[in-house]
A and B are shown apart, each in its own frame.
Chain A
Amino acid sequence: MLKIQVKDAEQNSTDNLKVLQTDKKKTVYQTRNLNLWYGEQQALKDINLDIIENDVTAIIGPSGCGKSTYIKTLNRMVELVPIVRTTGEIIYRERNILDKNYQVEELRTKVGMVFQKPNPFPKSIYDNIAYGPRIHGIKNKKILDEIVENSLRGAAIWDDVKDRLHQNAYGLSGGQQQRICIARCLAIEPDVILMDEPTSALDPISTLKVEELVQELKQNYSIIIVTHNMQQAARISDKTAFFLNGEVIEFDDTNKLFSTPSDRRTEDYISGRFG
């Protein structure tokens, strides 16, 4: 496993506070001094990150660095683990989502999520996409039809499935299932899309398709993507955050982070020396 140089730690804590200055663009998420524990074990340590509207933000780091935990905190899916405890704030559109009065259902309506493994519901393709709009009260068949078509087009899978909308989604290939899941997420018209290693279970061609899709979705959505694949982060993201042992080591423009990292540990990681 990895061995981190302790002498860099002090310098690093000042880096943590280095929030990117953004003159024109708005931020969607401002994370302030976020700490998170699973029981006794601290998984996130004093995280400070600003995520910018209509950017693709990649989060990279070795297994167990807390990158998945962090993205699941952004829509509070992390609370499904009963022993989780947090301190600090995550401001989303002017409100702290970690406030107990913030309803998770409301948050998750605005923040969609795509998971590691495709997880369509055991229902027809149509019902998968229509699920979200339906729970939010849309019953009109014509409107639902339009939402389904637009979402599937948005996820670049309409042509593959338009003739079999009423067949079970489990009949599709893994890559197609993942794009169904992305379409399902688009159907509730989210503001942000969280992607937790969305291509880790896919073959290279499906991966490429999902990556292209991310580039397109970027026009309309803010996207945060966790990936263990550094090439993928370099290909598709505007900003990249490098997590290690529950801390943000470095957060910068993707080009800069991959060409001239300012922290030794980032350099070690991206050059493949550990992880």
Chain B
Amino acid sequence: MNYINQKEVIKRMSGRIFLNGLFKVIFLLATLFALATLGILIYRMVTQGSEYLDADFLGNFSSRFAEKAGIKAALIGSIWLMAVVAPVSLLLGIGAALYLEEYASKNKMTDFIRMNISNLAGVPSIVFGLLGLTIFVRSLALGKSVLAAGLTMSLLILPVIIVSSQEAIRAVPNELREASYGMGATKWQTILKVVLPFAIPGILTGCILALSRAVGETAPLVVIGIPVIVHFLPEGILSQFTALPMQIFDWAKRPQPEFQHVAAAGILVLLIFLIVLNSIAIFIRNKFQKRY
């Protein structure tokens, strides 16, 4: 049998190899496009915003005048928001992950909870805003407070925290659990003394990434009706407040061109806030990874 004409094969070879080389370049360019966009985006924000980013900007409240506008209320507001979101979402998220990984038996209820979590992760953030508006702001009468916004944000990032915590808990070798049971430890003792200490770096890394998503989220805050012109700092979790992305949204919408620079300066503050959070996550990951 001789179906394959070797001469023909050799003739086609150079074309095929050229095509491979060409597409390699195309694939590389597509990858570089994504990276270049990130570079341009950051460069734009720095060039537009850096001249407005100074001590006054950090120390002033917002204003009708671009040169007087500051981000104090929003920055402090975002920190307050985190103070609610972090404990609520961490406790609920890690608790749910522990239940699903350590206690849940394989039954329909468990399957339903899992399925529900993965679907909840796909619900648009603005829909969570509608939930927060109805339940927390109106039904529970919490108003447009730090607490109402914080609870809404906690529910929004809950699926992310559960899933990443589950992964971290799943990575704990079963031998460790067995060793603990082998010494007569109970299930809860094993979880508290063996599973959690092992999994906590992974859990925290995932949680911080989820929290940084909450810092940057705008849509739910808009729907809840968080004000943008705030000339005071929150005094407690029931105070009204504003947050970084809300403030940026407000500035970005204003027609005066100077406010574009103010918005860019606000974005720089937001990005620095996020970089700090992420650095903490990387620090935790590196510090604890070495131990095992």
Direct contact of A and B (CB under 8 A): yes
A147 touches B13 (CB 8 A): no
CA of A147 to CA of B17, assembled, Å: 25
Q: Determine how close the nearest CB of chain B comes to the CB of A105; give it in whole angstroms.
A: 6
Q: Which residue of A lies closest to B8 (CB)?
A: A137
- A136 touching B1 in the complex, CB below 8 Å, given contacts A103-B17, A105-B17: no
Interface of B is mostly: helix
CA of A239 to CA of B149, assembled, Å: 79
How many residues belonging to B are interface residues under a CB distance threshold of 8 Å? 12
Q: Which residue of B lies closest to A153 (CB)?
A: B1
CA of A135 to CA of B9, assembled, Å: 9
A137 touches B3 (CB 8 A): no
B10 touches A143 (CB 8 A): no
CA of A82 to CA of B2, assembled, Å: 36
CA of A267 to CA of B12, assembled, Å: 49
Q: Determine how close the nearest CB of chain A comes to the CB of B8; give it in whole angstroms.
A: 7
Contact partner of B3 among A103, A105, A109, A138, CB < 8 A? A138
Task: Let me know if B4 is at the binding interface, CB within 8 A.
Answer: yes
Residues of A contacting B4 in the complex (Cβ-Cβ under 8 angstroms): 133, 136, 138, 188-189
CA of A146 to CA of B8, assembled, Å: 19
How many residues belonging to A are interface residues under a CB distance threshold of 8 Å? 16
- A189 touching B17 in the complex, CB below 8 Å, given contacts A136-B12, A137-B12: no
Interface flags for A90-120 (1: CB within 8 Å of B; 0: not) read 0000000000000101100110000000000
Residues of B contacting A146 in the complex (Cβ-Cβ under 8 angstroms): 1, 3
17 sample A-B contacts, Cβ–Cβ < 8 Å, listed by A number? A105-B16, A106-B10, A109-B9, A110-B6, A133-B3, A133-B4, A135-B16, A136-B4, A136-B9, A137-B8, A137-B9, A143-B3, A146-B1, A146-B3, A150-B1, A188-B4, A189-B2
Interface on A for B, CB 8 Å cutoff? 103, 105-106, 109-110, 133, 135-138, 143, 146-147, 150, 188-189
